Amino acid sequence: MNATTKRWLGIALIAVPIPLMVIVLSLYAVVSFIIASTGAELALVSNIVNVLLSLLGLVSVLGILIGIPAGIVLITLSEVDPEVKRRRAKELKKNPHYKN
């Protein structure tokens, strides 16, 4: 996996879980309102939808707990382009305070 892919994956792991949690909570409220206003005819459907939304909420909480630290690690530890490494090494060797 190259550095760009790691960086984008890290950004996605940081950016996705919190909006997913907001979406799930909003959908849960909307679905609960719709089910309550239609009556008890849709009890099985409401149970299925509530279970699916609960599972999505669980995934988003795990994404917050696991995905955000993993995203930070992927962003900070992604490999630097070899050309950039060489250029930085040359600049560092020109520094009179650098001791190798």
Residue type at 97 in one-letter notation: H
- In order of 5, 35, 76, 80, 97, the CA distances from 9 in angstroms are 6, 37, 12, 15, 37
pLDDT at 14: 93
Q: Are 3 and 79 in contact (CB under 8 A)?
A: yes
Of 83 and 47, more confident: 47
Q: What is the pLDDT of residues 17-62, one digit of tens each?
A: 999 999 999 999 998 888 888 876 777 888 888 899 999 999 999 9
